[in-house]
Amino acid sequence: MNSGRVQAVLQKALALLGTPYRWGGTSPDGGFDCSGMVGYVFRSALGIELPRVSREMAKDGEKVDKASLAVGDLVFFSRRGKRVDHVGIYVGDGRFVHA
């Protein structure tokens, strides 16, 4: 992603800090779950439609090593190595924003 697009994503994501968590949530008014927040950020900042749930987002993406993460990359998590069940947006310095 070019730097202008990365900045648009980060600006939109960080502006949502403090939005309440709501399972299945997809809007700043009603609250977000993790994939709802990530989808909202990419849709509103860049016009990019992502799959609704984190495990589907992970299937569509290109895997990168943790050491190669770039700001704006999506980071995925799973419990005990099972299926993906959480997603966030990497903001640098080992940190990410998520719901």
Instruction: Give the dihedral of Cα atoms 63, 38, 77, 59; nearest 10 deg.
Output: -40
CA distance 39 to 3: 19
Residue from 8, 13, 34, 58 carrying the catalytic annotation? 34
Is 74 one of the annotated active-site residues of the chain?
no
Residue from 5, 51, 86, 96 carrying the catalytic annotation? 86
CA distance 12 to 6: 10
Instruction: Give the dihedral of Cα atoms 31, 48, 76, 26; nearest 10 deg.
Output: 10
Is 96 one of the annotated active-site residues of the chain?
no
Is 65 one of the annotated active-site residues of the chain?
no
Residue from 58, 72, 75, 98 carrying the catalytic annotation? 98
Q: Which residues are known catalytic residues?
A: 34, 86, 98
